[in-house]
Structure 1
Amino acid sequence: MNQRDMRPPFAALGGTIPPELEKLPTPCYLLDEDALTRNAEILGGLAQRTGCKVLLAQKAFSNYDCYPLLAPHLAGTEASGLFEARLGAEEMPGKEVHVFCAAYRADEMDELVQYADHIVFNSPAQLAKFGPAAKAAGKSVGLRINPECSTQDGHAIYDPCAPGSRLGTTRAQWNAAVAANPALPNLLDGLHFHTLCEQDSDALATTLDAVAQKFGDLLPRMQWLNFGGGHHITRPGYDIAMLERCITRAQQDWGVTVYLEPGEACALNAGFLLSRVLDVVQNGDTTIAILDASAACHMPDVIEMPYRPPLFAAAEPGEKPCTVRLAGPTCLAGDVIGDYGVDAVPNVGDLLVFGDMA
């Protein structure tokens, strides 16, 4: 490949694809350890300047072979359940392990408390059911709150603050629960909110205002406040100064330790998916390149979000001489990666490189 592409996913390679990649079997993932380290250094610098604690959200990146690159800069890991908690405890030893799950299984709690330091519950009912045992085991106990403040556009089904959301406890729900069980507040050491997705810190500032309005009276009694994930901290142009102001505000107003649990920010633009063209077909006006990589199997977010991953040296449809649809080899009709503008229709055997695939 003689083309150059200096967009962020490919800039770490100097805007070129090294010829030695042609020798690799496909499909395959390629991780950039230098990029992972740079991301971790940005997060670690934030923690040093502000006194906050940054956790790796393992649901976004759980390649534990790379944890030694991240661990020196992070306070620990965030888990979505028992097995991620075990992963964090075993592969980032000596660090904090936080866990949140929308509903815990009773038959897993005894093992979970062996790994987790902080356990966050989603509802007052789960807090009442499992909180006393967690406290007795010496764990820090939290509740996920729903500040009812939506800041997301374009994918409402993933908005934790959407009407009818199952994630987090609203203030009305909390008030009703405390009226029925006045001892509930005594179980809490901290509060947790997670309302963002690949967003800048202005959305966090808006959310923090809502948290202050809805739950500000509870926070002075808390030891910590977890800002959750969705902070695109390592993205070029992200407003870190505003993030630092949000952290300082929480520390000064409520006297809490602030946690953040970025996921994608830890691995942003730090990996590639290599694929080869198996066939090229023409259906009416649509040119389709069938690859040995599948959206459904190798990049499921393409279908679930949906989104279109960056492709080396490609542009928007219509912005280059040719437009080609890239699709997977499976029998799933929707196994389509997306339409791309390219200089020429790829040939069978050509190597294609997708960015931001860590």
Structure 2
Amino acid sequence: METRAGDPGAFAHFDLSRVDSPAFVVDAARLRENLRILADVGERSGARVLAALKAFSMWSTAPIVGEYLDGVCASGLWEARLASEFYDGEIATYCAAYKEEDLGEILRLSDHVIFNSPAQIERFWPQIETARARGEDFDIGLRINPLHPEGEVPRYDPSAPHSRLGFPIDQLTEEHVEMIDGIHFHNLCEQDFEPLQRTWDKVFDYLEPYFGQFKWINLGGGHHITRADYQRDELVEFLADMAEDTGAEIYIEPGEAVALDAGILVGTVLDVGYNGMPVAVVDISATCHMPDVIEAPYRPAMLGELPIEDDGLIDGGPIDEGQGGAVRLGGPSCLAGDVIGDYRLPVPAEPGVRFAFLDQAHYSMVKTTTFNGVPLPSIWLWDSETDSLECIRRFEYEDFRDRLS
């Protein structure tokens, strides 16, 4: 999987020795800039913009998010609780399947509760009616599957064959529409405007008979709006036209775009050896700290990385960065596949040197694990405009222990 993110921005001048290793460092100034862009899209188009907590839920930055966006979207009860506790604005909750014991609180906390199938709505309708009778105010939505694959990687494509995500749009009926207030679909992953336009062209014919019946239409996330080359003017026009055509309020739920290029993951080389090529063990683990490196897979950009010459391999002998070859970086876990990739570091590849991977604020932070007892990275908030630096959280042995029994 190729990603077009990886702009170092102000991190090009950040002293990596100022923080622990490993450590996530988020730049509040870059976060604000991303949010300003998203707010501008919302203001010019009339669409409502929600931040997707599934991608970036560093709740210490919730006040910054609340300055710019209309609220957040959650993926279940715990994210809805987090949203209610720390974030301002609306809460839209979608889950592929709700547990009956969770739904009451989700209905109470959320402004929009989006179901994955009409069957779920029907099954929980008595609970929905009871909550409304208590005076709780929320809309019911249905996620549809456009049946239109646009993703580069099938496991990240909600419209991949036999997907469990969303109700197949070719099965939608008037009876289903009568149960709901709005429609949700999410079909993108790190993509430009054109895939959204193509998806809407597919969805339009199915939904057009019901235009005027929806209070809102939610286009989900996957929009790389804050990337420099994203077609924002086209998006603004598209969103405004959609509202006019459908008579509905339009929502988008950017996640990655909120924190795009706003964070790095700092690491340290622990040991170096040679096995057909230079190999370095580092304190960053792909499987524990950047699982998308294995799942996608993709190769994260490195801060200050030098170009790899020829085939990137060094033929025998000790590591000599002057030869322009690559060093294979892997984590400290026992997983043989805990390999990050081949890099030519901007510093000598030797124990004790620091390095950093770019664009790690979104998804990496929320997906970390303590497999093998590998420590979690600490979390830092830096403001590149003021150079203020704060350690938000360090994780200790007790955090690992208390997850277990």
TM-score by structure 2 length? Answer: 0.80
Note if 1:126 corresponds to 2:120.
Answer: yes
Which of these residues, 155, 158, 161, is aligned with residue 160 of structure 1? 158
- The corresponding residue for 1:254 is 246
3-state SS, counterpart of residue 12 of structure 1 = helix
CA distance in 1, matches of 2:120, 2:126: 10
Tell me the alpha carbon deviations over residues 267-294 of structure 1, each in whole angstroms, 9 at most, x when there is no partner.
000011110000011102x211110111
Tell me the alpha carbon deviations over residues 175-196 of structure 1, each in whole angstroms, 9 at most, x when there is no partner.
4xx6xxx4x4322110000000
1:322, CA displacement in angstroms?
1.2
Structure 2 counterpart of 1:134, one-letter code: I
| 8 Å contact kept, 2:45–2:237 | no
CA distance in 1, matches of 2:295, 2:150: 20
Greater shift, 341-350 or 209-218, is seen at: 341-350
1:174, CA displacement in angstroms?
2.5
- The corresponding residue for 2:202 is 210
- The corresponding residue for 1:325 is 328
Tell me the alpha carbon deviations over residues 155-213 of structure 1, each in whole angstroms, 9 at most, x when there is no partner.
112211111111111133324xx6xxx4x432211000000000000111111111102
- The corresponding residue for 1:307 is 298
Note if 1:147 corresponds to 2:154.
Answer: no
Tell me the alpha carbon deviations over residues 300-337 of structure 1, each in whole angstroms, 9 at most, x when there is no partner.
11112211111012256436711111110111111111
- The corresponding residue for 2:273 is 281
Which of these residues, 215, 226, 246, is aligned with residue 223 of structure 1? 215
CA distance in 2, matches of 1:262, 1:312: 25
Note if 1:96 corresponds to 2:90.
Answer: yes
Structure 2 vs 1, CA of residues 209 and 148 (structure 1 numbering), >3 Å: closer, same or farther? same
| 8 Å contact kept, 1:324–1:345 | no
3-state SS, counterpart of residue 172 of structure 2 = helix
Which structure 1 segments of 5+ residues have no match? 1-6
Percent of aligned positions that are identical = 41
- The corresponding residue for 1:32 is 27
Which of these residues, 169, 172, 176, is aligned with residue 171 of structure 1? 169
Greater shift, 260-269 or 209-218, is seen at: 209-218
- The corresponding residue for 1:61 is 56
1:147, CA displacement in angstroms?
1.4
Structure 2 vs 1, CA of residues 343 and 12 (structure 1 numbering), >3 Å: closer, same or farther? closer
Structure 2 vs 1, CA of residues 165 and 317 (structure 1 numbering), >3 Å: closer, same or farther? farther
CA distance in 2, matches of 1:293, 1:32: 20
Structure 2 vs 1, CA of residues 307 and 316 (structure 1 numbering), >3 Å: closer, same or farther? farther
Tell me the alpha carbon deviations over residues 215-241 of structure 1, each in whole angstroms, 9 at most, x when there is no partner.
221232101000100000001100001
- The corresponding residue for 1:3 is none
1:343, CA displacement in angstroms?
6.0
3-state SS, counterpart of residue 119 of structure 1 = strand
TM-score by structure 1 length? Answer: 0.91
Structure 2 vs 1, CA of residues 315 and 255 (structure 1 numbering), >3 Å: closer, same or farther? farther
- The corresponding residue for 1:349 is 352
Structure 2 counterpart of 1:142, one-letter code: G
| 8 Å contact kept, 1:295–1:327 | yes
CA distance in 2, matches of 1:206, 1:191: 17
Structure 1 counterpart of 2:137, one-letter code: G
- The corresponding residue for 2:70 is 75
Structure 2 vs 1, CA of residues 96 and 38 (structure 1 numbering), >3 Å: closer, same or farther? same
Greater shift, 319-328 or 44-53, is seen at: 319-328
Structure 2 counterpart of 1:301, one-letter code: D
Which structure 2 segments of 5+ residues have no match? 313-323, 362-405
Tell me the alpha carbon deviations over residues 114-141 of structure 1, each in whole angstroms, 9 at most, x when there is no partner.
2111000001111212245335343101
CA distance in 2, matches of 1:86, 1:61: 15
- The corresponding residue for 1:4 is none
Structure 2 counterpart of 1:28, one-letter code: A
- The corresponding residue for 2:368 is none
CA distance in 1, matches of 2:48, 2:346: 46
Structure 2 counterpart of 1:195, one-letter code: N
3-state SS, counterpart of residue 209 of structure 1 = helix
